[in-house]
Amino acid sequence: MIIHVEIDDIDLLDEYGLYLIDRDIGVATPNLYQTTIPGRNGKLDYTDFFGEVTYQNRQIKITLAKKVDKKTQDLKYELEKIYNGQLVKLSFSDDEDHFWKGRITVTSNDDDTELYKVEFNMDAHPYKFLKLYDKEVR
């Protein structure tokens, strides 16, 4: 089954011919607030003192590829120009109801003569969002 990747509602397979070959959605790390007090055993943990535990952003890394052709160099520059450093919405066809929101960076290879690979790294909000309402989903 081919998984389609969309960035800001643009399907990268349909628009650029890029196939998803790897996806890594990292874990959201909790913000821990702990203090060591002299004369006390263990740490004083006040992580949830003000309510719910909060989380740091999660890292999402996707790798896409396509066969090299004469337009590959132009595609590389176009992807960097459009997406590098931008705040975007990222979604996958196997989770159609949700999207991730975050800032993305683009890196690609120039050394392979047969397969062009491009990597998108996203510093994403800790939770994904429900597409219908644009709300957080925990």
Residue ranges making up the domain that contains 22: 5-28+57-137
CATH number, domain with residue 123 = 2.40.30
Residue 48: inside a domain, yes or no? no
Number of domains comprising the chain: 1
Q: With contact defined as beta carbons under 8 Å apart, do 19 and 65 qualify?
A: yes
Q: Tens of pLDDT along 19-57? A: 999 999 999 999 999 999 999 899 999 999 889 999 999
124 in a domain, yes or no?
yes
Computed from CA positions of residues 7, 10, 129, 26, in that sequence, does the dihedral angle turn out positive or negative?
A: negative
Residues in the chain where the model's pLDDT stays below 70: 112, 133-138
Q: 61 in a domain, yes or no?
A: yes
Q: Give whole-number Cα distances, 36 to 32, 40, 45, in Å.
A: 13, 8, 9
Provide the mean pLDDT of the chain. 91
Asked if residue 66 is part of any domain, the answer here is yes
49 belongs to a structural domain: no
* Within-domain flag for 23: yes
Domain-located, residue 99? yes
Tell whether 107 is covered by a domain.
yes
